[in-house]
Amino acid sequence: MLAVRGVTLQYRTKDHLVTATYRVSFSVLESDRFVVLGPSGCGKSTLLKAVGGYIRPVEGDILLDGSPVKGPAPDRVFVFQEFDQLLPWKTVKENIVFALTASGKLARRAAEECAEHNIAKVKLSEFADSYPHTLSGGMKQRAAIARALAMEPRILLMDEPFAALDALTRAQMQEELLQLWEETKFTVLFVTHSISEAIRIGTRILVLSAHPGQVKAELKSGACDEAALQELLFDA
Amino acid sequence: MPDGRVDFVVVEKPLAAWTRFWNIGAVRKTFLLLVLAGLWEGYARWLNNPLLFPTFVDTLKAFFSGIASGELPRAASYTIQLLLKGYVAGLAIAALLTAFASATRIGADLLETLTSMFNPLPSIALLPLALIWFGLGDGSIIFVLIHAVLWAVALNTYAGFRAVSPTLRMVGQNYGLSKVGYVTRILIPGAFPSILTGLKVGWAFAWRTLIAAELVFGVSSGSGGLGWYIFEQKNQLLIPNVFAGLLTVILFGLVVENLIFRTIENRTVRRWGMQV
């Protein structure tokens, strides 16, 4: 479904040209929970942004259902790590309605129903009319996930969505994400630097090396344990 | 405790009536105003020189008779009309300039250069020049008002746009907003705290500039605003009326700041948690 073929990504800092990933290839199939795992600075977030359409590859192609990705679009919805991804001037429900109506997916009335349904799915009904700043970090991430799921994108892009949460909340959110996946079997591309999270979340895991990111291995989640991944990740 | 309750700790109890009353900001401020008025009255009585410093009561009398005669309301409404014209024109130009600055790099440089040149220049200093260009009358005043409003608003709005977080920008792009939608639905609300600050500062600058322009130069002598009213009453040595004019200026400031801008703040940035 999503094909990434020989993608090299570069970005400019003030006085350097940095190669984030070098000739990375992988493909994500329908209903995959595809995890990109790598140490900090391996360009995995940059890679996800490229799939999102925010960055153009200098080499290689990114194809979604056979056609090249051109710019950000609602068929690839992002969930970010940062808590400020909800619009602070809208309530939880309005945030979801905004996403649905701004993208022209649903009209106002239908969007409200859809929002309520998805808020219930992430167990936030009580807080549907709350402004984001009154919510805890975990609740904000749940709201962001609800907003992304309501869009029913072809593929959900998650950029370390649980990294800024405390350990307890993180474990709970991982569990909830898996439960949500059981319901609709959405396709998700999930980026993380945590080995345990990769094993928990992923059906398939792509391991990247650092500086610049290159593919080290692609594994089925059942076929590896934490120690093996650790070795793979940190051995040169 | 048999039932597991602890009796000596307060879990939640209403505060005493007096504490709650004192917690209302308006109550504390009213109290302060009363104290200040009392001090004024006391000092003026002790000084006993109505030409230099009329009492609070005399000022109030002059104020109400000014309202009754229609002179003060006429002057005030003239000033407000002029102010609104200048303010709105200033906002429109600021919007254009900010849009240009946000769209192109050279526009941003232009805004930064112009702002650093003109922001420190008091608007009133431009009035002599404006008088030559636009003559005695509204044109000159509106010109200096625009100058007073423009830089504060443009600078704050532009700074606010730039401070909108990259995450919010990416979210905005993700949902396929048009260019206009992106500006009106992401950038403007995201920058709203700064924009509001700009509006407040611009309003204060404009208000001061206007009163000063009317007062010092008597530019609008034909019809006469509040500044002109103050100037004229001074010439006739009607000092309580001068004080009444000043009081009107202060009252407008209080109303705009505490009613209009505070209400906007409470309904927007405070409710959104973007400002405490």
Can you tell me the distance from the alpha carbon of B127 to that of B160, in angstroms, rounded to the nearest whole number? 30
What is the reported pLDDT for B222? 56
Decide if pLDDT at B39 tops 90.
Answer: yes
Q: In this complex, how many residue pairs, one in chain A and one in chain B, have their CB atoms less than 8 Å apart?
A: 65
Can you tell me the distance from the alpha carbon of B243 to that of B45, in angstroms, rounded to the nearest whole number? 15
- B contacts of A52 (beta carbons < 8 Å): 170, 174
DSSP A42: S
Between positions 129 and 188 of A, the ones with CB within 8 A of B are 131-134, 151
Under DSSP, is residue A207 helix (H, G, I), strand (E, B) or coil? strand
Provide the residue-wise pLDDT of chain A in tens; the chain has 236 residues: 888 888 888 888 888 888 888 888 888 888 888 998 888 878 888 889 999 889 888 888 888 888 888 888 888 999 999 888 999 999 999 999 999 998 888 888 989 999 999 998 888 888 999 999 999 888 999 999 999 999 988 899 999 988 888 888 888 888 888 988 988 889 999 999 888 888 888 888 888 888 788 777 777 776 677 777 777 777 65
Q: Which of B168, B173, B181 sits opposite A87 (nearest CB)?
A: B168
Domains in chain A, start-ordered, CATH in brackets?
A: 1-75+155-236 (3.40.50.300), 87-152 (no CATH)
Can you tell me the distance from the alpha carbon of B27 to that of B130, in angstroms, rounded to the nearest whole number? 44
Backbone angles phi, psi at B13, to 5 degrees: -145, 150
Contact: A77, B186; criterion CB under 8 Å: no
How many angstroms separate the Cα of A103 from the Cα of each of B9, B117, B152?
53, 43, 35
* A84 in contact with chain B, both atoms CB, cutoff 8 A: yes
Can you tell me the distance from the alpha carbon of A46 to that of A57, in angstroms, rounded to the nearest whole number? 10
pLDDT tens by residue, B46-84: 998 888 899 999 999 999 999 999 889 998 998 899 899
**Residue A147 or residue B26, greater confidence:** A147
* A46 in contact with chain B, both atoms CB, cutoff 8 A: no
Distance between B95 CA and the closest CA of chain A, angstroms: 22
What is the reported pLDDT for A93? 93
* B167 in contact with chain A, both atoms CB, cutoff 8 A: yes
Tokens 């001037």, residue located: A89
Q: Which of B171, B177, B272 sits opposite A89 (nearest CB)?
A: B272
Can you tell me the distance from the alpha carbon of A2 to that of A28, in angstroms, rounded to the nearest whole number? 5
**Angle between the N-to-C axes of helices B71-103 and B56-69, in degrees from 0 to 180, rounded to the nearest 10:** 90
pLDDT tens by residue, B157-178: 999 999 999 999 999 988 888 8
What is the reported pLDDT for B150? 93
Tokens 């474990």, residue located: A171
CA A56 to chain centre: 18
Cis peptide bond prior to B50, omega within 30° of 0: no
Distance between A126 CA and the closest CA of chain B, angstroms: 18
What is the reported pLDDT for B62? 92
What is the sign of the dihedral through the CA atoms of B126, B128, B133 and B137? positive
What is the reported pLDDT for B218? 64
Residue A39's Cβ-count burial label (10 Å; 0-12, 13-18, 19+) is middle
Residue A38's Cβ-count burial label (10 Å; 0-12, 13-18, 19+) is buried
- B contacts of A77 (beta carbons < 8 Å): 174
Domains in chain B, start-ordered, CATH in brackets?
A: 61-267 (1.10.3720.10)
What is the reported pLDDT for B1? 45
Contact: A72, B189; criterion CB under 8 Å: no
